[in-house]
Amino acid sequence: MEAEATPAVKRLGLQQDDPRIIPGPAPCVTFSGDYEGVAVHVVWTGRDAKHGVDLVGTVPASLATYLALQAWPDADLVISSGTAGGFKAQGAAIGDVFVSTGKLHHDRRIPLPGFDKYGIGFIESLPTPNLQAALGLKAGVVSTGDSLDYTDKDMAVMLDHSVAVKEMEAGSVAWAAQLFGKPLLCIKAVLPRVLEFLGGRGVQDL
């Protein structure tokens, strides 16, 4: 979302690319600059022309990642950053920042041989022990779905894979990055308005 991208753009001193790096009709908005000798590009998926809301979910995320890696084929690393819901059972609390150990999809249930594993689509993250130690980050599995809420079956998948945080893009960003052979990690901040798993009894709005 724009609200997630803007703080990074300002903190890193990036400028919106003009002319556009990713041409229309894709609505992606990109920002570029140099931060301490490193070229940095931030990609916001853009806004839905019909409904006027930020484009969230797996389809805009995979499209934006694919087009960005076409635009910058020499990129060394892809980072999926933003906000997420956290699970207390995996040590998450409001305000925590997690770095991913892996990404998966909790709502792609395809009960056919081979397709079941494809549906979950687990992809390991780039190991980041030094980053975790330097910034005091927690680490865990990030799970992606196209709904802000979830079903009992979604929850079963997340429990089975010890998911720490739940969001709506990382799994698809990882899939697109993998097509280009690019390593990926996620950095996700746990917001107050999330759902918390409470000892197998269900969920509670924090």
Q: What is the pLDDT of residues 41-70, one digit of tens each?
A: 999 999 999 999 999 999 999 999 999 999
> Is 183 within 8 Å of 195 (Cβ atoms)?
no
Question: 172-194, pLDDT tens digit by residue?
Answer: 999 999 999 999 999 999 986 44
pLDDT the model gives residue 45: 97
Q: Strand, coil or helix: what is 58? A: helix
Give the C-alpha separation, 93 to 191, whole Å. 9
Domain ranges of the chain: 2-194
Q: If residue 61 lies in a helix (H) or strand (E), which one and from where to where?
A: helix 58-71
The secondary structure of residue 5, as a DSSP letter, is H
Residue listed under structure tokens 């995979």: 62
**In tens digits, what is the pLDDT along the chain, a chain of 206 residues?**
999 999 999 999 999 999 999 999 999 999 999 999 999 999 999 999 999 999 999 999 999 999 999 999 999 999 999 999 999 889 999 999 999 999 999 999 999 999 999 999 999 999 999 999 999 999 999 999 999 888 899 999 999 999 999 999 999 999 999 999 999 999 999 986 444 443 443 333 32
Q: Which residues pair with 13 in a beta bridge?
A: none
> Is 165 within 8 Å of 190 (Cβ atoms)?
yes
Give the C-alpha separation, 170 to 145, whole Å. 9
CATH superfamily label, 2-194: Nucleoside phosphorylase domain (3.40.50.1580)
